[in-house]
Amino acid sequence: MTIGLEDGASLHPEMPPGMPSGVAAIDVAAERARTAGVTQRHYLNAAGAGLMSDAVLERTIRHLRLEQRIGGYAAATELADEVDGVYASAAALLGADADEIACFDTATTALRSIFDALRLGPGDTVIAPRSSYVSQALRLLTLRRHAGVRLDVVPNDATGAMDLTALDRALEQATGRVVVSAVHVPTSSGLVEPVAAIGALARDRGALTVLDATQSVGQIDIDVRQVACDALVTTGRKFLRGPRGTALAYLRRGALDGLGGWAPDVRGSAWTGAGEWTTDGTARQLETWEAAVATRLGLGVALREALDRGMAATESHLAGLGDRLRRALAATDGVALADPPAARSAIVTFTVAGLPGKEVARRLGEARIDTIAVPAGHAQWDLGARGLESVVRVSPHVYNDEADIEALLGAVAEIAAEAR
């Protein structure tokens, strides 16, 4: 039985409607077979932390055991080629070169490192969308308050995405060095920003684009050359299904020419004299020497799994699943979609009349259905501006089957009915 769908619609996740010709279907059964976490709960929170595959977990643990036997440095030296392979896999996924990839512990750290290296000061301009996440928004507000940087938050158009005409106007009026702090998919909705158009406008105006892709890498096929961004950051734990505490950054070759990392480290710099040092021109100039090698190797497995699965197939599958969820939830009495019209991702947000999002997520959790409530404090320029105190966020992945979707829709319908 399907719940809340139009007649003739299907929830069958293997074959989303409108899949492009020649794109293979996702084998959901195979994904579930290699993901132990699906056996106990209906897990629909990939945008928070996707479920690792068994192989990702085993690779991480195996390296920790090696470190236990021979020490962390010796273990890293022994696996140096495999560690280098993580950069190659990330580059293949993003359409970059391996020397344009850097590894971090979190995407927030990566963003901070990039913006520190840009050395923005009085009179320089940062342009940001309303879809900015709290960590980056606070970073930009701090630059405005303490470094004298001009901050221009661009309004949305009728679709809920960044208004490109307003962006072009902001770029024309910007002063000093100009950086567009773009977002691909926000934390607060299923919106997909027009990042290729944003990057093209910025490049035409001589501005740099730094893209927050934490909610898109792993669910949307991304080519950094086509997007025309100068830097991109993403986390490993979400749609990439890597271990927590892993992240990646792409830094276009030459983007920091004449600047270099704000806090040089032996990882990407050489101390050549009492007061002199040289900096590696690659993205690794932003890294630090110390790192959790075990989780980085686990991320490497997750990257290879994403490549093997195929990002075109993954994007088509997840976009179709998100569309079906939006239709079903919109047809449920007492439920209102919170996604803007430009929502095209697997992330779906909604509210239930009479209940705060945290309470809805709690009740779903009692039914062994994992979602999350996103408060306005995580997205004031978006949720706060729309007068939404919180939304419930659902984010399926390739390991979710029809039983997971049915369980969610049935439970939301019951919660909404009780609230009425």
| Shared domain check, 316 and 181 | no
How far is CA 102 from each of CA 87, 96, 138, rounded to the nearest angstrom? 7, 11, 23
Number of CB atoms found within 10 A of residue 33's CB: 13
Q: Is residue 7 part of a domain?
A: no
pLDDT at 22: 54
| Shared domain check, 191 and 338 | no
60: nearest Cα among 398, 300, 397, 291: 300
Structure confidence by residue, pLDDT tens digits, 186-226: 999 999 999 999 999 999 999 999 999 999 999 999 999 99
Q: How far apart are CA 328 and CA 324, in angstroms?
A: 6
DSSP H or E stretch at residue 183: strand 178-183
Q: Is the CB of residue 53 less than 8 Å from the CB of residue 34?
A: yes
| Shared domain check, 198 and 227 | yes
| Shared domain check, 78 and 45 | no
Q: How far apart are CA 50 and CA 37, in angstroms?
A: 10
| Shared domain check, 377 and 263 | no
CATH number for the domain spanning 98: value is 3.40.640.10
Per-position DSSP letters for 46-102, written without gaps between them: HHHHPPPPHHHHHHHHHHHHHHHHH-HHHHHHHTHHHHHHHHHHHHHHHT--GGGEE
Q: Is residue 230 part of a domain?
A: yes
Structure confidence by residue, pLDDT tens digits, 104-142: 999 999 999 999 999 999 999 999 999 999 999 999 999
* Percentage of residues of the chain with pLDDT beyond 90: 89
Structure confidence by residue, pLDDT tens digits, 18-27: 444 455 689 9
Q: Is residue 385 part of a domain?
A: yes
Residue 60 reports pLDDT greater than 80: yes
Q: How far apart are CA 309 and CA 347, in angstroms?
A: 20
pLDDT at 265: 86
Provide the total of helices (H) and of strands (E) in the chain, helices listed first: 14, 15
Q: Is residue 5 part of a domain?
A: no
Structure confidence by residue, pLDDT tens digits, 247-276: 999 999 999 887 777 788 888 889 999 999
Question: Which residue range forms the structural domain that includes residue 49?
Answer: 28-53+310-419
How far is CA 54 from each of CA 41, 51, 243, rounded to the nearest angstrom? 16, 9, 11
Q: Is residue 22 part of a domain?
A: no
182: nearest Cα among 207, 205, 149: 207
| Shared domain check, 281 and 152 | yes
Residue 394 reports pLDDT greater than 80: yes
Per-position DSSP letters for 115-179, written without gaps between them: HHHHT--TT-EEEEETT--HHHHHHHHHHHHHH--EEEEEPB-TTSSB-HHHHHHHHHH--SSEE
145-174 mean pLDDT: 98
As given in the structure block, the two tokens for residue 383 are 């949720």
DSSP H or E stretch at residue 394: strand 390-394
The number of domains in the chain is: 2
Q: 3-class SS at 220?
A: strand
| Shared domain check, 45 and 93 | no
Sheet arrangement for strand 390-394: 335-337, 348-352, 390-394, 372-375
pLDDT at 23: 57
Q: Is residue 6 part of a domain?
A: no
306: nearest Cα among 81, 105, 36, 90: 90
pTM: 0.92
280 band by pLDDT with thresholds 50, 70 and 90: confident
| Shared domain check, 262 and 226 | yes
pLDDT at 276: 92
CATH number for the domain spanning 394: value is 3.90.1150.10
Domain boundary among 261, 282, 308: 308
Q: How far apart are CA 274 and CA 33, in angstroms?
A: 57
| Shared domain check, 49 and 65 | no
Residue 17 reports pLDDT greater than 70: no
7 band by pLDDT with thresholds 50, 70 and 90: very low
Per-position DSSP letters for 337-389, written without gaps between them: E---TTB-SS-EEEEETTB-HHHHHHHHHHTTEE-EEEEGGG-IIIIITTT-S
Contact residues for 417 (Cβ-Cβ < 8 A; gap 6+): 333, 334
Domain boundary among 270, 287, 308: 308
Residue 309 reports pLDDT greater than 50: yes
pLDDT at 2: 32
Q: How far apart are CA 29 and CA 275, in angstroms?
A: 59
pLDDT at 4: 37
Q: Is the CB of residue 243 less than 8 Å from the CB of residue 298?
A: yes
Q: Find the DSSP H helices in 205-292.
A: 224-227
| Shared domain check, 175 and 139 | yes
Q: How far apart are CA 411 and CA 417, in angstroms?
A: 10
312-340 mean pLDDT: 97
| Shared domain check, 207 and 99 | yes
329: nearest Cα among 269, 409, 258: 409
Q: Is the CB of residue 239 less than 8 Å from the CB of residue 218?
A: yes
DSSP H or E stretch at residue 279: strand 276-279
Domain boundary among 308, 328, 346: 308
User: For all residues of the chain together, what is the average pLDDT?
Assistant: 93
Q: How remote is the C-alpha of 280 from its chain's centroid?
A: 27
Place of tokens 């919170």: 338
Q: Is residue 48 part of a domain?
A: yes
Q: Is residue 23 part of a domain?
A: no
| Shared domain check, 336 and 294 | no
As given in the structure block, the two tokens for residue 111 are 């963003």
